[in-house]
């Protein structure tokens, strides 16, 4: 069943980015980028670090399965030490989803200045988004940032597979040879480049972050690496007051009490979003949700040291993800992500993202 697009929405993140903060640029994330070499063929692709062991004795790299081929070992060149290569071991490969995980072990093999890239929530991505990738160009013998626009989000088979998986169709400057490189929305990964434009076309392909999360979750069941600004290495039960603030905010929205909901905003958000703008932005959500709440459950909670994508906002922060069902959306699961910040002994709303998907879609 095709993905449901009509209810996809995100607001505070965009407004804060435009009006207040300067987010990290793709080039700033280059220490997380790597080159992956196929030992037999001599061909090269790209990848990026998504997990670093606490003692920095190992790093974990995500790339495309067709980049690693059928080999158990590959060459890895970190972007900060271009003259030196390390051995990487392929610890997981899925040709249908065209994804591979490569592990590099040994502090002597890992530069001290490497960093990781964090994954975005699938709900923030939609057609028309401006995205970028960080990749090594053999033609230019250097690292560069490529730009693209999301044209379509749909299911289709990949280079090595026969089963349709969620992909992004992109228009822009993605090149052949960029395979395995991260696709970034602001400073978070929303996909992995699978293929550059085919002959006679300008459309390239990336594997969607929802597929990446499923793939990595099978290897790392605790999924402790999925947020870049986590305070600890485990999902934590939320502070009851934080969870209450998030659910109260949602209740105000679905009961058409938008002005009361606006009063719950964190100071940084309220200073960049007018009351009228808030009402205009959230009226579509309220209109559908006013039909009545059938069910809501807390799907996950993470305690953070900073707001994902907004490292300038620090303090006691939780990202609370809910799964809800509304009478107005029969058969549809609505995913709601609320970021709350403790300010002066009360929990206020920094960010709210929502997205709907059909149960048959499964993601």
Pairing of strands 188-195, 118-119: parallel
pLDDT tens-place string over residues 207-228: 999 899 889 988 887 655 554 4
Terminal Cα distance for the chain, rounded: 11
Domains and CATH numbers, the chain: 26-224 (2.40.10.120), 230-357 (3.10.450.590)
| Residue 5, pLDDT score | 36
What tokens were used for 151?
């044209």
pLDDT at 311: 53
> Residue 103: is its pLDDT beyond 80?
yes
Picking from 118, 96, 106, the residue whose alpha carbon sits closest to that of residue 51 is 118
Q: How much of the chain is helix, strand and coil, in % rounded to 5?
A: 20, 40, 35
How is residue 226 written in tokens? 């999925």
* Rounded average pLDDT over 44-56: 88
DSSP 300: E
Residue 310, SS3 per DSSP: strand
Q: Are 301 and 236 in contact (CB under 8 A)?
A: yes
pLDDT of residue 284: 83
- Using one digit for the tens of pLDDT, what is the confidence trace for 284-342? 888 888 888 999 988 777 776 666 545 556 778 888 888 888 887 777 778 787 889 99
Q: DSSP label at 198?
A: P
Q: Is the pLDDT of residue 197 over 70?
A: no
């Amino acid at each position: 069943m095709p993905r449901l697009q009509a209810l996809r929405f995100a607001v505070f993140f965009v407004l804060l980015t435009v009006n207040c903060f300067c987010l990290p640029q793709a080039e700033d994330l280059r220490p997380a980028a790597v080159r992956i070499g196929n030992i037999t063929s001599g061909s090269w692709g790209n990848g990026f670090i998504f997990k670093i062991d606490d003692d920095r004795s190992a790093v974990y790299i995500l790339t495309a399965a067709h980049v690693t081929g059928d080999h158990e070992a590959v060459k890895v060149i970190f972007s900060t030490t271009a003259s030196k290569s390390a051995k990487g071991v392929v610890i997981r490969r899925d040709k249908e989803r065209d994804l591979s995980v490569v592990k590099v072990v040994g502090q002597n093999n890992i530069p001290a200045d490497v960093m990781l890239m964090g994954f975005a929530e699938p709900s923030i991505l939609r057609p028309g988004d401006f995205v970028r990738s960080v990749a090594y160009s053999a033609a230019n013998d250097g690292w560069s940032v490529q730009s693209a626009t999301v044209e379509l989000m749909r299911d289709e088979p990949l280079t090595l597979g026969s089963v349709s998986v969620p992909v992004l169709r992109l228009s822009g400057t993605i090149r052949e040879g960029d395979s395995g490189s991260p696709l970034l929305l602001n400073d978070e990964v929303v996909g992995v480049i699978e293929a550059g434009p085919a002959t006679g076309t300008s459309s390239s392909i990336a594997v969607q972050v929802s597929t990446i999360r499923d793939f990595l979750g099978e290897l790392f069941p605790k999924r402790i690496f999925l947020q870049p600004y986590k305070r600890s290495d485990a999902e934590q039960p939320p502070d009851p007051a934080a969870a209450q603030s998030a659910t109260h905010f949602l209740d105000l929205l679905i009961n058409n009490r938008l002005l009361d909901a606006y009063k719950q905003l964190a100071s940084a958000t309220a200073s960049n979003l007018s009351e009228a703008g808030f009402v205009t932005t959230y009226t579509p959500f309220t209109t559908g949700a006013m039909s009545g709440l059938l069910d809501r459950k807390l799907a996950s909670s993470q305690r953070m040291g900073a707001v994902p994508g907004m490292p300038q906002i620090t303090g006691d922060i939780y990202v609370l993800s809910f799964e809800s069902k509304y009478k107005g959306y029969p058969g549809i699961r609505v995913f709601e992500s609320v970021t709350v910040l403790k300010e002066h002994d009360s929990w206020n709303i920094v960010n709210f993202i929502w997205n709907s998907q059909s149960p048959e879609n499964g993601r």
